[in-house]
Amino acid sequence: MTTIRHLTILGSTGSVGVSTLDVVSKHPDRFHIIALTANNNFKKMLEQCCYFRPRYAVMLDQTGAEKLRAGIHKMGIDTEVLSGVESLEKMASLPEVDTVMAAIVGAAGIRPTFSAARAGKRVLLANKEALVMAGHIFINVIKQNNATLLPIDSEHNAILQSLPTGFNRNLTVTGVRRILLTASGGPFRQSSLASLANVTPEEACAHPNWVMGRKISVDSATMMNKGLEVIEAHWLFDAAPEKIEVLIHPQSIIHSMVEYVDGSVLAQLGNPDMRTPIAHALAYPERIESGVTPLDMFKVARLDFEKPDFARFPCLRLAYEALASGGSAPAILNAANEVAVESFLERRISFTTIPSMIEEVMQRVNRTSINTLDDILEVDSMARATAYQWLLEFSAKH
């Protein structure tokens, strides 16, 4: 008998949310959409509401909510429109919902993701910040409330698929020697170092393999995205930093690997399409059709690997350092990076200034221990304020 899952999708108008709904649309007998949420893209949300007819639709932006409500009324759809952060948290913990896709980008996604974990939901985690900023707290909440955590990042999902069934976050017991996280290297893997100072936002967002949002595309170009994934892998799989190695793999066919003590290396391969990990997590432990084109190994023909260069990708170094420092360091790193990427996309700083800005903010903000979610959000706010102050000083000089 097919299990019907009742879903809330946090961030339904973003790339992961759209891909999730695409998979869901292929299996109407398996998935029922209860709630959709978004920031301010009310037009896309209205389209989604027309097709999926959710019970609730939430816009973080009040103006967007009002426009959506008017559109919903005009279309005669029986969907209740809400707004604000509190509504996001409510949608993540609805009694009738058993599965939550946490795909809100940035620190804004932390509270509703925690809300889903506290409510004991099956959490499909695409939001990096819950683990990067509040790793040990989030994992404890998952454990204490018997929630299920399934990673949506293609790399972490690949690791999960390459680990033994029933893996209990103990690498030593399961015979794992190390985790090998693959990275495409982004669009500037072979560019001269001198040319990076002149990179434009459009060039940085033109990823060679993946279709992603602007922020995560820039993170991929700087390899901060991979640095954040190293921190995530540490918490997801209880892996020491020295047991997590990054490999540049330009084809993005091997999504990650697990090396065992007997010399075996298990890898998950597939075309670069987020619908694969999404389908895997939605139906876990079953397998369902995702809509992804089958992998043609004859067409791929070759698989290349390179060691990442910290001179080219200083953001990766900064992430390893933040993980080693622990406490509030990863939260400071994440906040500084969000401001730096935003500033680059607004053409206020150059591409090569992104890591300089992050490193300076990490040096300026005092590092503390983290015990509660409020501690995390306070550090996040402090780091952002410091980043904006640095930006003012930088602008005054340039």
**Domain range list for the chain:** 5-151, 153-270+295-311, 326-398
In the predicted structure, residue 170 carries a pLDDT above the cut 80: no
Strand arrangement, sheet containing 56-59: 80-83, 56-59, 31-38, 5-10, 99-102, 122-125, 148-151
Are 252 and 153 a contacting pair, CB within 8 Å? Answer: no
* pLDDT for 116: 98
The answer to whether the 5-151 and 326-398 domains have the same CATH topology is no
CA 85 centroid distance within chain: 19
In the predicted structure, residue 273 carries a pLDDT above the cut 80: yes
What mean pLDDT comes out for the span 86-106?
95
What does the alpha-carbon distance between residue 382 and residue 386 come to, in Å, rounded to a whole number? 6
- Kindly indicate the confidence band of residue 360, based on its pLDDT and cuts at 50, 70 and 90: very high
* pLDDT for 4: 94
In the predicted structure, residue 167 carries a pLDDT above the cut 80: no
H or E stretch at 181: strand 176-183
Q: Which two tokens stand for residue 344?
A: 């680059």
Angle between helices 275-283 and 15-25 (to 10 degrees): 60
* pLDDT for 171: 81
Q: Which residue has the higher pLDDT, 370 or 99?
A: 99
What does the alpha-carbon distance between residue 248 and residue 104 come to, in Å, rounded to a whole number? 27
Summarize pLDDT for 171-194 with one digit per residue, the tens: 878 899 999 999 999 899 999 999
pTM, whole model, 2 decimals? 0.92
Q: What would be the CATH architecture of the domain defined by 326-398? A: Orthogonal Bundle (1.10)
Annotate 182-231 with DSSP letters as a single string: EE---TTTTS-GGGGGG--HHHHT--SS----HHHHHHHHHTHHHHHHHH
In the predicted structure, residue 310 carries a pLDDT above the cut 80: yes
Matching residue, tokens 């029922």: 32
Distances (CA, A) of 186 to 14, 308, 357: 20, 11, 20
Are 134 and 376 a contacting pair, CB within 8 Å? Answer: yes
* pLDDT for 211: 66
What mean pLDDT comes out for the span 209-238?
90
What does the alpha-carbon distance between residue 227 and residue 234 come to, in Å, rounded to a whole number? 11
What integer best gives the mean pLDDT of the chain?
94
* pLDDT for 323: 96
* pLDDT for 84: 92
Q: Which residues pair with 7 in a beta bridge?
A: 33, 99
* pLDDT for 98: 98
In the predicted structure, residue 210 carries a pLDDT above the cut 70: no
* pLDDT for 169: 72
Q: Which two tokens stand for residue 1?
A: 């008998």
Matching residue, tokens 């023909």: 301
In the predicted structure, residue 253 carries a pLDDT above the cut 80: yes
* pLDDT for 173: 83
Q: Quick one: fold of 5-151?
A: Rossmann fold (3.40.50)
Buried b or exposed e, range 306-327, using 16+ CB within 10 angstroms? eebeeebbbbbbbbbbbbeeee
What mean pLDDT comes out for the span 202-223?
84
H or E stretch at 343: helix 329-345
In the predicted structure, residue 207 carries a pLDDT above the cut 80: no
Between strands 176-183 and 56-59, the pairing is: unpaired
Percentage of residues in the chain having pLDDT higher than 70 = 98
